[in-house]
Amino acid sequence: MNTRILVLVLVLLMSTLLAGCIPGGGRYDAASPAGFLSGIWHGWIAPVSLVIGLFDNTTRIYEPNNTGWFYDLGFYIAIIGGFGGLSLTRNKLKRKEVRQV
């Protein structure tokens, strides 16, 4: 029972953390645009941003107020690294299962 409460509290804390760093929330403007590290973070949380964006019109998966090429580089590194890494892991697991049979 205590572990369930702990897991619930951790999920709520992580959700709050993620929601506070969502692109398009007004944190960045022309005077202080999102940079490379923000691009990496926004790429990692893109699936969460997409779901939240279904219910909130101000939320986007990509920050419009960014530094340009460096933000794009960070965003795409996170997208490719995160989702591509998952794909490679699944392929390795499938290959191991096929070899064992």
What is the reported pLDDT for 80? 87
What is the reported pLDDT for 81? 83
User: What are the average pLDDT values for consecutive 10-residue runs of the chain, which has 101 residues?
Assistant: 85 74 79 90 86 84 90 92 63 62 58
Would you kindly state where each structural domain of the chain is located, as residue ranges?
2-100
> Buried b / exposed e across 57-83, counting CB within 10 Å, b at 16+?
eebbbbbebbbeebbeebbeebbeebe
